[in-house]
């Protein structure tokens, strides 16, 4: 597989890439020979791409199923830094559309700001690539785009995985099976959430260069994408999570990590109604809420509460992870997690009939490696991804976007199943 580096001019124009790609239109890559490595292109070379790259580098070494062949970022210093992390020449792009035309790329990982995810995922699937896309599926204002993604993904032969990373924790697949087997009876209520302290997430968002300016090395219009047009602002670029044009606070940034599993376990799709409360209670410098609670009703007569703040970190339930451990309640009992076990607690109403507490060992914890491996296996076999495939990603995003719409309007968001749309 031919891999080339690019100089500064080529970064600006993409001329070499176009030449390379000329005459080699992207081919659907659903058929991958088991002996061929998937060529991977990483789109977005900021903080999260560290994990994408280190995972892919590990897979290159141990699984020998992938090979990083291309990187893309609209900010050249980060592109160069991540290129150095790969440690050998790779194709470098400033425009993801050019990366998608590169015939060496079979699969992409997407770690750009939220408002680019679905645009880039749709374009990648349409170009015949397999996709690992960071959560959230879309920005909060992109409901129509989420729907379009779902339509495209449903028809595509490309495999898709959303990076809601705790989906790789076997606890949730095991809980899903237990619920399916009827251990809790008819599900009626669930709760989950995330509590943490920190303005923009765990590690903050560093301003790499306070003097950064738009130009050939920082493509501001490409950063803005379909967000409102504004003059360049160094804080908006580096600390985009603070601004509602590009982010939504806990509901979109954090809750895909916990609600995705709950929706999967319950087997529900579109909610009937969502209400939400919260606001900017601790960090007045940001435009997006730091505290957000949402209550989701499903037509199957199931309520789900998602609770959280970025202003205080006690999870309330202890346990296995840095999230509030989900509780799934049914008519006959509840399922939750304690340390490395799933715990079944019988309902008071069935204890008399002899139902007792039960514990199930959890097979393994969460790791991005499991999700990427699953994606690669599905890319090879043509199977749908086991974890956060397109349907689950879309249904989770629907509930989250209804929550955001309800919170902004201070009203109830109501889903109309016939129209396939919601109103507030
Ligand atoms: N799964 C997880 O646990 C997890 C953790 C952190 C971040 N994330 C997600 O990853 C995404 C990226 O977050 P981050 O912290 O790396 O942000 P970041 O700002 O550090 O990195 C984003 C990068 O994307 C680049 N970019 C912006 N627009 C682009 C475009 N049109 N084309 C190509 N590159 C573009 C930026 O220049 C930047 O380098 C977010 O959506 C976030 O929700 C997920």
Residue pLDDT, tens place only, 224-264: 999 999 999 999 999 999 999 999 999 999 999 999 999 99
pLDDT for res 404: 98
For residues 181 and 29, the model is more confident at: 181
pLDDT for res 17: 30
Residue nearest to atom 38 of ligand 1 (CA): 46
CA terminus-to-terminus distance, the chain: 52
Alpha carbon 360 to its chain's center: 28
Burial class (CB in 10 A: 0-12, 13-18, 19+), 407: buried
Element (H, E) at 423: strand 421-423
- CA-derived radius of gyration, the chain: 22
Query: Distance from the CA of 288 to the center of ligand 1, in angstroms?
Result: 17
Query: Distance from the CA of 91 to the center of ligand 1, in angstroms?
Result: 19
Q: Which of 163, 55, 50, 56 is nearest to 114 (CA)?
A: 163
pTM score, whole prediction: 0.91
- List the beta strands (DSSP E) in 200-285: 273-279
Alpha carbon 5 to its chain's center: 29
Q: Where are the domains of the chain?
A: 8-164, 167-202+247-367+391-423
Query: Is-contact 385 376, C-beta < 8 A?
Result: no
Residue 415 in tokens: 């889903």
**Beta bridge pairs of residue 189:** 303, 329
Ligand 1 pocket test: which of 48, 76, 241 has the largest number of ligand atoms within 8 Å of its C-beta?
48
Query: Distance from the CA of 73 to the center of ligand 1, in angstroms?
Result: 10
- List the beta strands (DSSP E) in 204-347: 273-279, 291-298, 302-309, 324-330, 333-338, 341-346
pLDDT band at residue 10 under the 50/70/90 scheme: very low
Residue nearest to atom 44 of ligand 1 (CA): 134
pLDDT band at residue 7 under the 50/70/90 scheme: very low
Ligand 1: residues with CB < 6 A are 43-48, 72-75, 78, 96, 111-114, 116, 134-135, 163, 165, 222-223, 225, 253
Percentage of residues of the chain with pLDDT beyond 70: 89
pLDDT for res 334: 98
Widest distance between CA atoms in the chain: 76
* Res 25 pLDDT > 90: no
Residue nearest to atom 33 of ligand 1 (CA): 73
pLDDT, tens only, 366-401: 899 999 999 999 999 888 776 667 899 999 999 999
> Architecture of domain 8-164 in CATH?
3-Layer(aba) Sandwich (3.40)
pLDDT, tens only, 289-336: 999 999 999 999 999 999 999 999 888 876 677 788 899 999 999 999
pLDDT for res 199: 62
pLDDT for res 1: 32
Cα distance between residue 352 and residue 170, in whole Å: 32
167-202+247-367+391-423 maps to CATH 3.30.360.10: yes
Query: Distance from the CA of 115 to the center of ligand 1, in angstroms?
Result: 10
Is it true that 8-164 and 167-202+247-367+391-423 share their CATH fold?
no
DSSP string, 353-366: TT---EEEE-----
Cα distance between residue 103 and residue 120, in whole Å: 17
Residue nearest to atom 39 of ligand 1 (CA): 46
How far lies 127's CA from each of 164, 194, 224, 313, in Å? Answer: 24, 36, 23, 42
Residue nearest to atom 40 of ligand 1 (CA): 113
Query: Is-contact 123 95, C-beta < 8 A?
Result: no
Cα distance between residue 421 and residue 223, in whole Å: 29
């Amino acid at each position: 597989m031919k891999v080339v580096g690019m100089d500064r001019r080529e970064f600006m124009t993409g001329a070499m890439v176009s030449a390379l790609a000329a005459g080699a239109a992207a081919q659907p890559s659903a058929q991958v020979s088991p002996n061929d490595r998937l060529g991977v292109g990483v789109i977005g070379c900021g903080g999260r791409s560290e994990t994408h790259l280190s995972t892919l580098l590990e897979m290159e070494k141990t699984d020998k199923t992938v090979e990083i062949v291309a990187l893309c970022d609209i900010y050249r210093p980060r592109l160069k830094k991540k290129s150095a992390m790969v440690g050998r020449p790779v194709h470098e792009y400033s425009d993801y559309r050019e990366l998608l035309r590169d015939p060496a790329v079979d699969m992409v990982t997407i770690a750009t700001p939220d408002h680019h995810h679905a645009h880039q995922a749709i374009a990648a699937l349409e170009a015949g690539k397999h996709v690992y896309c960071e959560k959230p599926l879309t920005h909060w204002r992109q409901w129509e785009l989420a729907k379009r993604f779902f339509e495209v993904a449903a028809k595509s032969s490309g495999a898709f995985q959303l990076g809601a990373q705790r989906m790789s924790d076997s606890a949730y697949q095991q809980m899903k099976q237990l619920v399916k087997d009827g251990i809790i009876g008819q599900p009626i209520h669930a709760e989950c959430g995330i509590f943490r302290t920190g303005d923009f997430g765990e590690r903050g968002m560093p301003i790499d260069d306070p003097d950064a300016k738009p130009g050939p090395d920082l493509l501001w219009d490409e950063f803005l994408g379909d967000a409102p047009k504004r003059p360049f602002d160094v804080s908006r670029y580096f600390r985009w999570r603070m601004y509602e044009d590009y982010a939504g606070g806990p509901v979109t940034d954090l809750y895909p990590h916990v609600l995705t599993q709950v929706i999967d376990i319950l087997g529900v799709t579109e909610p009937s109604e969502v209400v939400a409360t919260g606001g900017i209670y601790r960090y007045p410098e940001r435009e997006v809420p730091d505290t957000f609670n949402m209550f989701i009703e499903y037509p199957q007569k199931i309520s789900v509460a998602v609770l959280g703040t970025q202003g205080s970190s006690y999870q309330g339930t202890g346990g296995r992870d840095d999230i509030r451990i989900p509780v799934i309640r049914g008519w006959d009992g509840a399922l939750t997690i304690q340390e490395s076990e799933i715990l079944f607690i019988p309902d008071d109403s069935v204890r008399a009939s002899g139902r007792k507490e039960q514990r199930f060992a959890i097979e393994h914890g969460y790791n991005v490696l499991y999700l990427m491996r699953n994606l690669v296996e599905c890319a090879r076999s043509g199977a749908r991804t086991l974890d956060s495939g397109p349907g689950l990603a879309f249904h989770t995003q629907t509930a989250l976007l209804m929550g955001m719409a309800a919170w902004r309007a201070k009203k109830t968001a109501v889903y109309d199943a016939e129209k396939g749309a919601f109103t507030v």
